[in-house]
Structure 1
Amino acid sequence: MTKEITIEDFLKVDIRVGRVLEVSEFPEARKPAYKLKIDFGDGIGIRKSSAQITKLYEPGELVGRQVMAVVNFPPRQIGPFMSEVLVLGFSDADGNISLAAPDHDVPIGGRLH
């Protein structure tokens, strides 16, 4: 059973769409992960994130892809890397993360409604 929240609680979470600019390996991570640079457009700019998505994605297929991320959490130190946004995804039956993204190209920086 899930815990109920109010619409006001939900509206506090700022989920935006961004475009992946760069992907690099993150060998220092405890679990296999990539370091991402994501452009969220004017107002938010370019932010960094770490994502444990190495099982389903190759770096080359991620560049240029749109992703959804929470942009108003405080930065989080992950080993030697400072993650500035939380990229969103869902676990498949094997625990691999599949990215949450819009079905069609939308303007970067757009907020989830």
Structure 2
Amino acid sequence: MHKDFAPDSPRADEIGFDDFLKVDIRVGEIVRAETFPEARNASYKIWIDFGPVIGEKKSAAQITVNYTLDELAGRRVMAVVNFPPRQIGPVRSEVLVLGFADKDGAIRLAQPDGDVPLGARLA
């Protein structure tokens, strides 16, 4: 786990509300997940549907410790949709899926509570 994400890491620098609004965090639903054997760290390739405006996007996620492929399809997740794409080995990751490190440093996905429409933006 990166030291900046540890539970005992210091609070990040203060930002203004306008800075926060620049980060576009949306709700999507995982429609498909596959193993990613070429990844340096154990990861899955996932495809997420963000609804009609943003559509389906691909990402790579290091979530293999807490999730099996079978339990990912249909799961709602939160992701940053306005970072530039990032090449991770042979995969072009188009969104950053959000999560929190558990006590062992493995990622737990951030997800909305209740039924939220696909593409809904974090308010």
State TM-score, norm by structure 2. Answer: 0.90
The amino acid of 2:86's aligned partner reads R
1:25 equivalent to 2:35? Answer yes
Q: Deviations over 1:47-96 (max 9, x none)?
A: 00000000000111110000000000000000010000000000011110
Map 1:6-85 to 2 at 5 A: 6-85=16-95
Q: How many residues align?
A: 113
Q: Deviations over 1:27-52 (max 9, x none)?
A: 00000000000000011000000000
CA distance in 1, matches of 2:46, 2:60: 6
SS of equivalent to 2:32: strand
Mind listing any 5+ residue stretches in structure 1 that lack a counterpart? none
CA distance in 2, matches of 1:4, 1:96: 27
CA RMSD of aligned residues (A): 0.6
Mind listing any 5+ residue stretches in structure 2 that lack a counterpart? 1-10
SS of equivalent to 1:47: strand
CA distance in 1, matches of 2:73, 2:12: 34
Identity of counterpart residues, as a percentage?
64
The runs of at least 4 consecutive aligned structure 1 residues that moved more than 2 Å come to none
